[in-house]
């Protein structure tokens, strides 16, 4: 069997201290997983289970790149997040078995066209074009899970100015809880990435600025806009 068009290159992300790369199958993102961020977006953090949205796999981009400022927005926002990479899959995974699915962890930035998201919310339309645009999933090098689960601070800096600063322990839903819940909605697969939510302090990135997400124990996820 052949293809009528040449298949696209397989999306992938870097692996810490290795020339090997991690092939990306799908990207899932968790909405409002830190209480203060839920409140700054006008929601009650105690009233809702986790919800999810997607980015295309080829929206992923390695840390250290310079990218064009996205079209169709004047309000590009950063969202610092812990990213989980799955090395195994499954459906209806219990939280006590979720850890076994994790291949690695990375710092990530869920870039968002906030003005398009606000318009979509007001019109009760999908967020796809607000979240799933080119280069919108910035991911730092993956650290294998065998080296331990990250803990400590998650931060975002824009041109060196601190904009987000929280503790990973402030997540409403734990990584295992996220995996377990998501596995009841879809059958998870090796190669899936999960962005686990952002803390309070989301804000704009302007043309020419450098945005860097830092998580204790992980290499940063940085991107410059031009």
Phi-psi region of 85 (alpha: psi -120 to 50; beta: other; left: phi over 0): beta
Per-residue pLDDT, 26 = 98
Overall average pLDDT of the 96-109 stretch: 97
Q: Does residue 9 lie within any of the structural domains?
A: no
> Structure tokens of 107?
């710092």
Q: Give the chain's domain count.
A: 1
Residue 14 located in a structural domain: no
Max Cα-Cα span within the chain: 53
**In this structure, what CATH number is given to the domain that contains residue 53?**
3.90.850.10
In a domain, 175, yes or no: yes
Residue 2 located in a structural domain: no
**What are the tens digits of pLDDT across the range 73-96?**
999 999 999 999 999 999 999 999
From the number of C-beta atoms within 10 Å of its C-beta (0-12, 13-18, 19+), residue 25 rates as middle
In the block, tokens 């840390």 appear at 63
Structure tokens at 137: 């999933």
- In a domain, residue 10? The reply is no
Residue listed under structure tokens 């290795």:
18
In the chain, beta strands by DSSP E:
12-14, 21-23, 27-31, 51-55, 60-62, 65-67, 76-78, 80-86, 102-110, 112-113, 137-139, 143-144, 153-158, 161-167, 193-195, 203-204, 210-215, 221-225
Report d(CA 155, CA 127) in Å as an integer. Answer: 25
Distance between CA atoms of residues 190 and 171, nearest Å: 24
| Three-state secondary-structure class, residue 208 | coil
- 68 pLDDT tier (thresholds 50, 70, 90): very high
User: Which phi and psi angles does 96 have, rounded to 5°?
Assistant: -75, -15
Question: What per-residue confidence (pLDDT) applies to 67?
Answer: 98
Burial 50-73 (b: 16+ CB within 10 A, else e): beebebbbbbbbbbbeeeeebeeb
Number of residues in the chain: 226
* Full-model pTM: 0.95
Domain assignment of residue 116, given as a range: 22-225
| Alpha-carbon torsion (93, 99, 104, 108), positive or negative | positive
pLDDT digits (tens, 9 = 90+) for 123-178: 999 999 999 999 999 999 999 999 999 999 999 999 999 999 999 999 999 999 99
């Amino acid at each position: 069997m052949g293809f009528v068009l040449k298949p696209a290159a397989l999306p992938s992300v870097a692996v810490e201290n290795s020339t090997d790369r991690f092939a990306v199958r799908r990207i899932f993102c968790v909405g409002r997983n830190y209480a203060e961020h839920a409140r700054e977006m006008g929601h009650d953090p105690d009233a809702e289970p986790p919800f999810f949205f997607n980015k295309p796999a080829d929206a992923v981009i390695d840390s250290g790149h310079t990218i064009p400022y996205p079209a169709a927005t004047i309000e590009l926002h950063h969202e610092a997040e812990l990213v989980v990479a799955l090395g195994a899959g499954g459906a209806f995974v219990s939280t006590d078995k979720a850890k076994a699915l994790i291949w690695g962890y990375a710092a990530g930035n869920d870039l968002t066209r906030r003005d398009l998201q606000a318009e979509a919310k007001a019109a009760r339309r999908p967020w796809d074009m607000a979240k799933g645009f080119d280069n919108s999933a910035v991911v730092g090098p993956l650290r294998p899970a065998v080296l331990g689960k990250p803990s400590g601070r998650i931060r975002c800096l824009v041109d060196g100015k601190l904009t987000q600063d929280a503790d990973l322990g402030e997540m409403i839903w734990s990584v295992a809880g996220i995996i377990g819940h998501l596995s009841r909605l879809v059958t998870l697969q090796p190669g899936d990435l999960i962005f686990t939510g952002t803390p309070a302090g989301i804000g704009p990135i302007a043309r020419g600025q450098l945005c860097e997400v830092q998580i204790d124990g992980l290499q940063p996820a940085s991107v410059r806009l031009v």
